Chains A and B, each alone.
Chain A
């Protein structure tokens, strides 16, 4: 296929045809129209849902402007995270340094907003001009009494994935800073859900019905004081492994909190996420409640899904999302509603993820790492997909091709997690796959 860059050939494979392992964890080629972002972006998306913290971007205006309230991470209380704060650095600071500006900005903001903590994101240029951000943060912490945490996130220092790690390091500075070391029985932290479209409210409800105590949600609907006490939880359950499994690993090392990888997407994975917790606590009452909950939810959901499954039978989907774990859940969930996955890829998957994807996929399914629009277009055409599942940059390409589209990224408008989410997902796929608008396009 002519439009796969030569150097990218190992980053694409067809199950049942190609024998090579899928190459991943590579940086994007210079000159490719990559869909990937930078370290700053990775750190910002992970930390920003902490709603009672101040998020100050230290750099030129763009980094703050482009990340201003774009991800729909809901908060049930404070909304400070939805504002945009920037030191807005100019030539003067580039030449003479930006430390003074940063200090002043921090003090003014803390005075005005009285946040529970502050994160300072250090961007490309700040790293280059050599501002000692750490020492400014320390001194402001001292004078104001509000903890100011440095997020070392120069964009060029890797990919979005490296930014996740930076965010986890920043979070580790909060974890364990409040309360005793006593573990709360039957308690968990929910890690790696960002409360898009209020999904966390559903999860919280499920776990509370089972009698599980939730210490902190990190970072969706996040609060600084909860995260400070997160070390008191007995178990970490981690979704979206790409972004936050590192935090769980660090917490396990430091506080001996075991962790469990889960997905809340699709009936099977959602139920496993509930049973897994009950099994971990070895608690019969909890398990009975989980069984009861799943039974109620599933018996309500399955008949409703039947209609969609019939209607969608034989439809084909292409998946291109950020995290690989999400892609894996999507293959299963699509299968549940009669849709076959013909292309599956991610921006940040690792070897293990792609192996899981490959095992789960049908023969002939194409796996792809860090693709670009031209390549994706070719793959979609070649496989005759009906629907594309992706993020903001993929949506218009799908529509131009006359394909249905579902945003499974931060621009989702309906909760897609949990049982309710599965029904929403089926409705959304049905709505777009069957949309009458596509009758008007000639080449379809």
Chain B
């Protein structure tokens, strides 16, 4: 019993986090920046931050993750980090030759009050940014929001510092990717191409953090949204943004800056969220929905129909980020399952409202919490009070899964102990099929393993 100390007795906690269901902003900014082609993320703070984020992403993707650091010292914490960042920009362009440096701040540089706008301006005036190269940046104080906020801030930074409007609109649309896996970004592109939509997807980490093994190492893999495409995003006729938390802010900023109208849609996880995505894509890109897409939908609905008896009434606990959790809860309800416990360390009242709307009428016993005090300890306490049939979330659920002997589907960030998430999507109808296949596999494996000899069934 690794979590032998977890008690049933739940007390209100004001600040303390035990086994958190979130991490801090900068890692999100780093991940988003990797979705630009030829970009080197840069962490403006102590070198530990950079090292931790790189390690976390490396463990999740089993890929080399490159990022530079301002390597703050005692001196920088007193006199400010301007000198460090100026030197860093110079060194990076000289040695590592990226097209873009994407700087994010840390709690340290935020608190000492470094002004990134002014420092980058100074670098430009001092000729440290070569012709045709770019430095973008965003503020990611670790004590505000969560890793999702950091992702959102960097995506907004892309829009604010790169997107431009020439005054002439073209007929492409922007697809702003939420925090999903490279496999999901690839799947969104596949669907959009299948529909003959003209689009720019950003950020796009496919072919960056799922690079092939070729026997040579390239610091900047072939994937990532190209800078000219990011600049031209200001001329595109519309924007479809995936997820309130990770992308809405960027969509608003792009509208304000370049007059590109936008719509926000949930991450297309499950039948209905994918339906909404397809409809909105069809509307904004002014393209028809081909039969191929309708057929994919039909296959997903078919599998749900075939296997419904194994899903009905099963109690599910899930944790992660709001943009994933909301459509996932909707999907579980459509599968006739019962999402009973939901936690997210990411704050935001909207999550509570949305879950309330979805769950109160059908699963009145559901408990959910996000923000302060919503952590894996609380989740475990709920489960101790009444168990569940399935856990869905990042790797940190494995302690609960083991202690409570409950099947566990890994989804979200980080996944440190399984592979596959980089390659097989969970978005779109095909992604729905994969989620469903995994859920069924887990439930049926447990039934097979624990049924008595006489109950053990060949055909299921």
Contacts and interface: CB of A to CB of B under 8 A. Distances in A.
Do chains A and B stick together as partners?
yes
Interface of A: 3, 5, 27-41, 59-68, 70, 79-80, 82-91, 93-94, 101, 104-105, 108-109, 112-113, 124-125, 127-129, 154-160, 373-374, 377, 392-393, 395-397, 399-402, 437-438, 440-444
B13 A33 contact: no
Interface in B68-125: 68-74, 76-77, 83-85, 87-92, 95-96, 106-108, 111-112
B51 interface: yes
B18 A83 contact: yes
Contacts of A109: 16, 18
Contacts of B23: 61-62, 65-66
B162 interface: no
Contacts of B89: 31
B13 A62 contact: no
Interface string B48-68: 111111111011001111111
A65 B22 contact: yes
B24 interface: yes
Contacts of A38: 46-49, 51
Given A33-B67, A373-B64, 9 more contacts: A30-B88, A32-B68, A62-B49, A88-B16, A89-B143, A104-B14, A109-B16, A124-B108, A402-B215
Nearest to A129: B111
Which of B66, B68, B69, B107 has the most A CB atoms < 10 Å from its CB? B107
Interface residues of B, number: 82
Interface string B340-359: 00000100000000000000
B458 interface: no
Contact of B108 (A32, A79, A82, A128): A128
Contact of B74 (A66, A156, A400): A156
B7 interface: yes
Interface string B31-54: 000000000101001111111111
8 contacts: A66-B53, A67-B52, A84-B20, A89-B15, A112-B5, A155-B48, A159-B47, A442-B214
A124 B107 contact: yes
Nearest to B56: A66
B71 A88 contact: no
B5 to A, nearest CB: 6
B17 A88 contact: yes
Interface in B1-20: 2-5, 7, 11, 13-20
Nearest to A113: B5
B452 interface: no
B178 interface: no
B166 interface: no
A363 to B, nearest CB: 28
A371 to B, nearest CB: 13
B16 A155 contact: no
B26 interface: yes
B211 interface: yes
A32 B91 contact: yes
A31 B88 contact: yes
B65 to A, nearest CB: 8
Nearest to B63: A396
Given A36-B51, A62-B52, A66-B23, A82 B214 contact: no
A277 to B, nearest CB: 35
A154 B107 CA distance: 12
A39 B52 CA distance: 13
Nearest to A34: B47
A442 B69 CA distance: 33
B309 interface: no
A105 B108 contact: no
Interface of B: 2-5, 7, 11, 13-20, 22-27, 40, 42, 45-56, 58-59, 62-74, 76-77, 83-85, 87-92, 95-96, 106-108, 111-112, 141-144, 146, 211, 213-217, 219, 345, 372, 396
Contacts of A159: 47
A79 B3 CA distance: 8
Question: Which 4 pairs across A and B sit closest by C-beta, in order of nearness?
Answer: A38-B48, A62-B24, A31-B88, A441-B215
Which of A65, A86, A156 has the most B CB atoms < 10 Å from its CB? A156
A160 B215 CA distance: 32
Contacts of A374: 95-96, 219
Nearest to B101: A31
Contacts of B65: 393
A91 B215 contact: no
Nearest to B70: A30
B70 A62 contact: no
Contacts of A397: 64, 217
B396 A68 contact: yes
B76 A33 contact: no
A156 B76 contact: yes
A32 B17 contact: no
Contacts of B92: 31
A45 B50 CA distance: 17
A34 B71 CA distance: 9
Contact of B107 (A39, A60, A82, A84): A60
A133 to B, nearest CB: 15
B292 to A, nearest CB: 33
Contact of B48 (A40, A83, A128, A395): A40
Nearest to A396: B64
A139 B108 CA distance: 27
A138 B40 CA distance: 44
Contacts of B16: 85-88, 101, 104-105, 108-109
Given A68-B396, A94-B111, A400 B91 contact: no
B55 A32 contact: no
Given A91-B143, A396-B58, A64 B17 contact: yes
Contacts of B62: 395-396
A444 B216 CA distance: 8
A345 B48 CA distance: 20
Contact of B20 (A27, A86, A127, A373): A86
